[in-house]
Structure 1
Amino acid sequence: MHTDNVSFEQALARDARRFLGLGAEGGRAGRSPQRIIVADFEYRWDRSRYDGYRVSEGESAEPTIRWPFHRIAAGSWLQLRFDPGEEVPTVESIVVLAKDEANEQEMIARFFEALYQVPTAQLITWGGEVKDLAVLRRSACEFALVLPRQLTDGSPHARERIDLCRAVTVQARSPHLPEYAAATAIPAKPSPSRTIGELVEKGDWPKVRDQVLADVLTTAVIAVRHLAAHRAIECDQPSTLMAIADAVVAAIPGSEFARRSFAPWARGQKAASGLRGTVYRPAE
């Protein structure tokens, strides 16, 4: 009798697990796709207007050229769609623009249109709350553009977006993107951070494009890891990184960073994920 009771209880537990499993599958199937848009921008300084400001204000003028005088010179954004039950997201678009092909207003309008198209997408930046979003809001007012949903809430904790620098930092000191990337073995900026202004001033647009694209790719990797760690998404991370690399190389074949740094690194991550057990290496 005792054995029968145990068997009956085990059968009930098994049936309950099956029921919960089916419910979970049904819940996943009923969920809508989740989208994120990872974005970054590079800038030039509006020196003429700043000089006018300094003359009018005299000694009261701010001695550094701060964000109101920063004009967008290049931008890039990557859109990913995570479908319920799928291990790898779909790379829906990857865009890179620079001043030699579009002016500031045109770049911002295209970026806003990407956000308008998917109002439920979460906007992800690295340090965007510090400058990028302020510049975008200033530009929207200046060019009579309507802000997308992701930019209307002024709170740094708005659900419509994530500033990864803030999210990974919590109360620690904020790291620079290449600093965090180096510490976590992610490829980052092809040119040192402090040289981007000079590249913009020189009009070296191929290098500027590669820099802003690299920032988006690095931020995208951090975003996937961060969201997965917080159970906000479910995906096969190595395959996801490989899918991003393949899509970017196909869409932007001229990017040396994508071809020579990011794609080989993603392949290495994918290969390493296939290893099981202890890996023995020959002694040197």
Structure 2
Amino acid sequence: MNFQTKPADRKPRSYIVIDLESAVLDDVAHRRYQAMERWTPERGKPSRRGYQRGDDPLRTPRWVFQSIVTISAMVLVEHQDGGVGVSALESWSAAVFDERAMVQGLLDLFARHPEAEIVTWGGAMHDLSILRLAAMRLGLTLPKGWGWLAFGYSRDARHLDLQQVATGGFKMKPIHQAEVLAALNLPGKITAAPFAIAHLVYARNWKAVRDACECDVISTALLLAHWRQFHDGRTEVGLVVDRILRDVIERRPEAGYTPGLQQHRHMLYTEQQARAVDRMSALAPWLRDAA
């Protein structure tokens, strides 16, 4: 991502913030893998020396055998004042779509925004890898302008992974998104704890899975607002965060996370009022005395 060009000299940037949820729903492919390895289970013994049961790929299917059950994506477009606003918030859930239709829906969204930049939390190591493998398995084709997705992650890709940014290119110990959200006082994980998502998937509670997926997209968009402040300080980040929250609340009034977003927005407004009163007292103490 090149930020050397002055904001006045380039077109408004657009971003597609994505998140997906996946799970092992069909173990047929995993059994094919076991057959290739000529593996049969032996009670109490790992398949290879040094493996613990939980990370033994012959006993526990790894991510390559997961199916996508929900995809959520938010399109953000820069405003002339330096902020960003939500132009679309879309989700594809197993409640309505099969996996092919979910992935194709996201690819169609990419096609409508050929110059957009992808934003994820941990997507370099998870979401995009699962998306690429699913697209290959389903025989789907990337739209024009998105061929770079086929080559994995690189510094030249139109992809900002905020977990990679936060950890210095994964050189620091990996951290959870909730840790960064808490540090920056941003909302997240409102409807479900991360460890509960797998249980919701296997219970086929697709609405809860969709709410959790969209909530992660919203949180990642708010992290993006803070990251953009490094490069464009024309609009105070609190106003950008408030604009994103307002746009989402208007688009998803019935979502399970919306009351939490409303509460957080009210809290931010109350804090801004308190700071304004403090500044007024410092700059114009006679107003405080008059009151």
TM-score band w.r.t. shorter chain: 0.7 to 0.9
Identity of aligned residues (%): 23
What is the identity, as a one-letter code, of the residue corresponding to 1:38? V
What is the identity, as a one-letter code, of the residue corresponding to 2:25? D
Between the aligned partners of 1:202 and 1:41, the Cα distance in structure 2 is: 17
SS at match of 1:78: strand
Structure 1 residues without counterparts, runs of 5 or longer: 1-26
Conserved? CA contact 2:82–2:233, under 8 Å: no
Q: By how many angstroms is 1:108 displaced? A: 0.8
Partner of 1:41: 20
Q: By how many angstroms is 1:42 displaced? A: 0.5
Between the aligned partners of 1:116 and 1:186, the Cα distance in structure 2 is: 31
What is the identity, as a one-letter code, of the residue corresponding to 1:207? A
Match of 1:68 among 64, 74, 84: 64
- Report matched runs for 1:233-244 at 5 Å: 234-244=234-244
Q: By how many angstroms is 1:227 displaced? A: 2.0
Partner of 1:115: 110
What is the identity, as a one-letter code, of the residue corresponding to 1:64? T
Q: By how many angstroms is 1:130 displaced? A: 1.0
Partner of 2:157: 159
Conserved? CA contact 1:75–1:107, under 8 Å: yes
Between the aligned partners of 1:47 and 1:145, the Cα distance in structure 2 is: 20
Q: By how many angstroms is 1:66 displaced? A: 1.2
What's the TM-score, normalizing by structure 1? Answer: 0.80
- Report matched runs for 1:1-284 at 5 Å: 28-49=7-28, 50-57=30-37, 58=39, 59=47, 62-83=58-79, 85-148=80-143, 149=146, 151-170=149-168, 171-189=171-189, 190-229=191-230, 231=231, 234-257=234-257, 259-274=258-273, 275-276=275-276, 278=278
What is the identity, as a one-letter code, of the residue corresponding to 1:81? V
Distance 1:51 1:40, change over 3 A: same
Q: By how many angstroms is 1:29 displaced? A: 4.4
Partner of 1:13: none
Q: By how many angstroms is 1:76 displaced? A: 0.7
Looking at secondary structure, tell me which structure has more helix per residue: 1
Q: Superposition RMSD on alpha carbons, in Å?
A: 2.3
What is the identity, as a one-letter code, of the residue corresponding to 2:226? R
What are the superposed Cα offsets for residues 158-184 of structure 1, whole Å, 9 maximum, x if unpaired? 330111101111021110112222232
What is the identity, as a one-letter code, of the residue corresponding to 2:150? T
Conserved? CA contact 1:82–1:233, under 8 Å: no
SS at match of 1:245: helix
What's the TM-score, normalizing by structure 2? Answer: 0.78
Q: By how many angstroms is 1:132 displaced? A: 1.0
Distance 1:233 1:106, change over 3 A: farther
Between the aligned partners of 2:157 and 2:27, the Cα distance in structure 1 is: 37
Structure 2 residues without counterparts, runs of 5 or longer: 1-5, 40-46, 49-56, 282-291
Aligned pair count?
A: 251
Which deviates the most, 152-161 or 32-41?
A: 152-161
